[in-house]
């Protein structure tokens, strides 16, 4: 982004107002579309209902193939992650620059490390909960010995690093894409940015898919331990 985030101050605290606004826009879009898709469910589905059923069917197949027969119970989290990230990424491709702000500009929510880190923390808490639910404290400490404690500390560090690597990857890719487009808009606002904007639409989908798939893989490790318990 050429001018950075739109910063708002509340006492001694400051926050990125632009990404908060687009985050609520993203949630509003998903809530409205979900309401319209499920308002009048019918055996003969409408086009919107058919699309929604197709998306949910894809998640059912994915979770069952990666997690197993109990994979469906994780669909609410995984589907929400994918749809939210995809919609948020695509919002960053809209011509927000038509709205001239005194400082900063409206950007994708995933262009904010605070947003991607929050999702990473949510994934971390969720899959650690699944592991603890499956094996109790043995999820962290397999055996009470010097080697066991060292291995537990290493695994604990890995647990924390995994989702935050997702957060950094998502944030960096979306930020880099928006910076690239801003640069080419400054050089030639008409034709030059178009191929990169189309490519960023593809990147928006890929990044949402990667975040969701890796989150599914982390949950699958805990779920597999549950099945083996």
Tens digits of per-residue pLDDT, 93-141?
765 544 555 555 677 888 888 888 888 889 888 888 887 776 666 666 5
Reported confidence tier of residue 80, pLDDT bands at 50, 70, 90: very high
Look at residues 222, 218, 116 and name the one whose alpha carbon lies nearest to residue 173. 116
Higher pLDDT: 229 or 125? It is 125
Query: How high is the pLDDT of residue 103?
Result: 56
Would you state the pLDDT for residue 98?
Answer: 47
The mean pLDDT of 14-37, rounded to a whole number, is 86
Q: Please say if the pLDDT value at position 40 is more than 70.
A: yes
CA-closest candidate to residue 176, choices 156, 159, 199 = 199
Span 62-71, average pLDDT: 83
* pLDDT mean across residues, the chain: 76
Q: Which residues of 161-194 are buried (b: 16+ CB within 10 A; e: fewer)?
A: ebbeebbeebbebbbebbeebbebbeeeeeeebe
pLDDT above 80 (res 52)? yes
CA 48 from centre of chain: 23
pLDDT(51) > 50: yes
How crowded is residue 223: how many other Cβ atoms within 10 Å of its Cβ? 25
pLDDT tens-digit map of 134-160: 666 666 655 555 655 676 677 677 777
The yes-or-no verdict on residue 216 having pLDDT over 80 is yes
Q: What is the pLDDT of residue 228?
A: 42
- Of 62-71, 111-120, 196-205, give the lowest mean pLDDT range: 196-205
Task: Classify 212 in phi/psi space as left (phi over 0), alpha (psi -120 to 50) or beta.
Answer: alpha
Quick one: pLDDT band at residue 3, thresholds 50, 70, 90?
Answer: very low
Percent of the chain beyond pLDDT 90?
8
Give Cβ neighbours of residue 9 (< 8 Å, ≥ 6 apart).
none
């Amino acid at each position: 982004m050429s001018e950075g985030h739109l910063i708002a101050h509340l006492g001694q605290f400051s926050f990125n107002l632009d990404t908060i606004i687009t985050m609520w826009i993203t949630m509003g879009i998903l809530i409205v579309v979900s309401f319209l898709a499920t308002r009048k469910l019918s055996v003969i589905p409408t086009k919107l209902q058919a699309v929604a059923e197709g998306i949910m069917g894809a998640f059912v197949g994915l979770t069952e193939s990666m997690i197993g027969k109990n994979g469906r119970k994780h669909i609410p989290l995984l589907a929400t992650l994918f749809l939210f990230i995809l919609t948020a990424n695509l919002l960053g491709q809209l011509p927000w620059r038509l709205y001239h702000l005194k400082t900063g500009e409206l950007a994708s929510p995933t262009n904010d490390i605070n947003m991607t880190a929050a999702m990473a923390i949510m994934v971390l808490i969720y899959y650690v909960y699944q592991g603890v639910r499956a094996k109790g404290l043995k999820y962290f400490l397999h055996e009470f010995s010097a080697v066991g404690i060292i291995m537990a500390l290493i695994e604990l560090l890995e647990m924390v690093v995994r989702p935050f690597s997702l957060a950094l990857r998502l944030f960096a890719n979306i930020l880099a894409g928006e910076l690239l487009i801003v640069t080419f808009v400054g050089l030639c606002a008409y034709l030059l940015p178009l191929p990169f904007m189309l490519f960023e639409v593809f990147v928006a989908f890929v990044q949402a898919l990667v975040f969701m798939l890796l989150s599914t893989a982390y949950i699958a490790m805990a779920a597999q331990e549950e099945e083996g318990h």
